[in-house]
Amino acid sequence: MSGVVGERYHALDAVRGGVLVLGVFFHATLSFLPGDQMWLVMDASRSTELSVLFFTLHIFRMTVFFVLAGFFGRLLLERLGVGAFVMNRVKRIATPLVMFWPLVLTAFIATLIWAAAQANGGTVPDGPPPPPLTAETFPLLHLWFLYVLLMFYAATLVLRGLVHLIDRNGTMRARLVDPVVRLIAGPLAPVLLAIPVAVALYFKSNWMMWFGIPTPDTGLVPNTVALIAYGVAFGFGWLLSRQPAILESWGKRWALYLLAAIGATAAALVLGGGTGPVIATPEQSLTTLSFAALYGFASWCWTIAIIGFAVRHLAGHSPARRYLADASYWIYIVHLPIVIALQTLIAPYQWPWFAKYPLILAVAFAIMLASYQLIVRYSWIGSILNGKKQKPVKAKRGEPQLAAAE
């Protein structure tokens, strides 16, 4: 099958790295959102266009990520076995979370204090003390996705163990589960997969619907909507890896799904109150239900369109895409304090947003890619994040240069 055969799933690797990189684009929009202060730093220039970008990126980024996390998770488990899989996930997921969370939080707090001082004429303003650290207030920040991934892995291993007790020879999975997955993944996939998302959103209390799925970045017990929406994505990706040929059909129809995604996103924006952030919490109504349904539908249309496009057009190996996919993990871990610092530096200047926003991205990526190349890629940090890589062997004069196997 084109796109997903060979020693690597190059197309899916590219998408997984791409949605992590889009996290930088997503958080960089926050200082430019119109209306009341929504972020730690609010720029002198605001942008409706970036508000639409924020809304759109939030619809699909993490759904795509968790589909692929489930897809690759099952492949890894089948290749390594349970014991080695657990050790691999401890090294690749749990260790970076434990290792980088204190550093990122420290940098985040320092940047927050500096940003507050900059906005207050150089002195830190008085404010209420931070809430006591409890299970409800624990600040996972943007590393919440690692914490939630560990929860999904643990739940899936337990469920898998129970299934194997009932279905020892795999007959039930082959005759029942696989056909159901093929049905769900067919032409009506965005409708069927949107149902649990829409129901969870509609019944969410105090739901600020313009912001879609509430981010579980605070608290050790993630909110129910995020667990349902991203749990469905993870579980579906896990089961999808049993029949990867399904992705080829997505590749054939990716343009249709893209058109549907754009239309549903535009309709959701209109129902949600327009192109600027809406803070109000609506009552349950037909409008709320319609928005929840459109949001879930758009999320899955984007997800299928993006994965389908990649399978169709990004099947081959690309050194540039491979490098960016490797770097994306590091980029996402360290990007938030860097982005906030850059937002703080340029916020007072009366430049247009279309000059400031690209500048933030350009400087941020220059810092992050340089740090990845110089201190991460071939170091013990890179070994934890992506596996050990050896520097290319420098050839002697007159001899061809040989790249080290990675």
Q: How far from chain centre, in Å, is Cα 125? A: 34
- Count of alpha carbons within 13 angstroms of residue 141, beta-carbon side: 21
Amino acid present at 400? P
Locate 250 and state its tokens: 């997505």
How far apart are the C-alpha atoms of 294 and 397, rounded to whole Å? 61
pLDDT in tens, 219-275: 999 999 999 999 999 999 999 999 999 999 999 999 999 999 999 999 999 999 888
DSSP 393: B
Q: Coil, strand or helix: which one is 402?
A: strand
In 3D space, the residue among 390, 311, 366, 368 whose CA is nearest the CA of residue 16 turns out to be 311
d(CA 327, CA 286): 44
Position of tokens 């006591």?
A: 132
User: What does the DSSP 8-state code read for residue 400?
Assistant: -
- Predicted pLDDT at 281: 85
In this predicted model, what pLDDT tens digit does every residue of 167-198 receive, in sequence order? 777 777 777 888 999 999 999 999 999 999 99
Q: How far apart are CA 127 and CA 119, in angstroms?
A: 14
CA Rg value for the chain: 22
Domain borders along the chain are 10-364
308-327 burial: b if 16+ Cβ within 10 Å, else e: bbbbbebbeeeeebbebbbb
Alpha helices in 218-352 (DSSP H): 224-240, 246-252, 254-272, 286-313, 319-346
With 0.85 as the threshold, say if the pTM is over it: yes
Q: What is the mean pLDDT of each run of 10 residues along the chain (406 residues)?
A: 54 95 97 88 92 97 97 95 96 96 94 82 74 88 97 96 80 81 94 97 93 94 96 97 94 96 96 86 89 97 98 92 95 96 93 96 98 96 90 61 42
Residue 10, token pair as written in the block? 């190059």
- Cβ pair 31, 39 in contact under 8 A: yes
Alpha-carbon distance 43 to 50, whole Å?
Answer: 12
